[in-house]
Structure 1
Amino acid sequence: MTTDPPTSTPGERLQKILARRGYGSRRKAEELIRAGRVHVDGRPATIGQRADPSARITVDGAPIDAEHAALTLMLHKPPDVIVAASDGRGRATVFDLLGDVPPGLRHVGRLDRDSEGLLLLTTDGELAHRVAHPRFEVAKTYEALVEGRPGEDSLARLRGGIELDDGPTSPAEAERLRHDANGWWVRLVLHEGRKRQVRRMLSAVGHPVRRLVRTRLGPLELGDLAPGASRPLDAEELSELRALCGLDTA
């Protein structure tokens, strides 16, 4: 007697599809599935279920397009712009810079109002979660114009970690870059993202920040993107970022 070999269900895990389409992280997608709000071809979905591109997937009865790729943007945040979907005080937000905002688009982490530089926005809930989560240690590179001339002792303290009011920081990469008409610039590379962390670290070593620009996020580089402008990540950038976060695995 012979038996047919087991067959595997083609397609991608449902929670990955939902996360990529803006329904939150995979954990949030699993909560939707457990709550019975997700159906595949008219049947209640189950955790771990796979769906192929031809499947009709619905959330609360509304279909999603499983083949539609998530949108991930890089934006050059200018100063005096709020990183928020809206502002009750009527101040400009990063979403005002985008014009038409796709459903589910969210900012990944924050830059304070006075800071500028690279900000990531995406409809991919799982990617947003992983880039922002300290466990994945996505490097954030900043260039800061500071008061005074940072000496090697100050840089060494930054490299070793600084005691702040919310606890010690992780060690940072720190180097003095250049001097211009406005003062000295330093570069810091962090693998965590607390509120106003760079400003607090530099103030703690006696060099308050005059200007702060985030120039890199993981493999992404701000480059010559103009302030206020945005662009989608290209395929190579997106692939590198997802790989860094442990995505694109079954």
Structure 2
Amino acid sequence: MERLQKVIAQAGVTSRRKAEQLIKEGKVKVNGKVVTELGTKVSPNQKIEVNGIPVEREEPVYFLFYKPTGVISSVKDDKGRKTVIDYFGEIEQRVFPVGRLDYDTSGILILTNDGDFANLLMHPRYHVEKVYVAKIEGIPTKETIIKLQKGVQLDDGKTSKAKARILSIDKKKKRAIVELTIHEGKNRQVRRMFDAVGHPVMKLKRERYGFLDLQGLNPGEFRELKPIEVKHLRNKAVT
């Protein structure tokens, strides 16, 4: 038996908070009867409807995916471009990406059918470290690295403190590879941070998400997260 709002969120219908609101508004039915009490618990064989639409309850699944460049972090694309879901054709559950990576950015991405879990990870209070490796134009000075570390002013506000270090320099081609670790998830944040300090990104990869990395995976491959990994991510999100 699980709380009704949790079951709705895990089915990917909406967030748990929004599910609670829908229950209060009388828009949720269990076995054909309207339920408005938030403490209501339901069993796996009970029929749930939200706004008259049956909720398809699936076993929650969690995947770590190595997203290639040139792929959309979305369930579908109106321009007909390849999406991350195209790599999960053999998976019975209807998974979706947690957050996103830009079309031109490769690296680690989590996919699940657990809406409650996804909303926990995407909540602003969840300060998971995301490690990116960027090939940039030009060779940044020590002062530039300090700017990145202290936070950069963007058009939607200043970024939080970050970790930044130069991994390698190509003086002949006037390029550098820099590792940048951030906690936020602003749209195209890493690219905009480097643009702001005068070093446009040529290539970008997210190598780590918290304690997770891409070890053993090639672009386009995925693996199922271990139960202990899911538990650790969930525990970090609620602390």
TM-score by length of 1: 0.83
Residue from 192, 207, 215 that aligns with 2:184: 192
Q: What are the Cα deviations for residues 132-189 of structure 1, in whole angstroms up to 9, with x where unaligned?
A: 2222222221111112222321110011111112221111111122347984321111
Matched, 1:49 2:27: no
Matched, 1:208 2:194: no
Aligned to 1:3: none
Larger-Rg structure: 1
- What secondary structure sits across from 1:85 in the alignment? coil
Shift of 1:242: 0.5
- What secondary structure sits across from 2:120 in the alignment? helix
> Distance in 2 between the 1:196 and 1:19 partners?
27
Contact 2:85–2:96, Cα closer than 8 Å, also in 1: no
Aligned to 1:7: none
- Unaligned 5+ segments in structure 1 are 1-10
Residues 40 and 176 (structure 1 numbering): CA distance in 2 closer, same or farther, change over 3 Å?
same
Contact 1:158–1:173, Cα closer than 8 Å, also in 2: yes
Matched, 1:133 2:123: yes
Tell me the percent identity. Answer: 41
Residue from 46, 71, 95 that aligns with 2:85: 95
Shift of 1:116: 0.3
Aligned to 1:169: 159
Shift of 1:61: 6.8
- Unaligned 5+ segments in structure 2 are none
Residue from 74, 84, 103 that aligns with 1:84: 74
TM-score by length of 2: 0.86
What value does the CA root-mean-square deviation take over the aligned residues?
2.5
Shift of 1:39: 3.6
Aligned to 1:154: 144
Q: What are the Cα deviations for residues 169-212 of structure 1, in whole angstroms up to 9, with x where unaligned?
A: 11111112234798432111111111111011112222221111
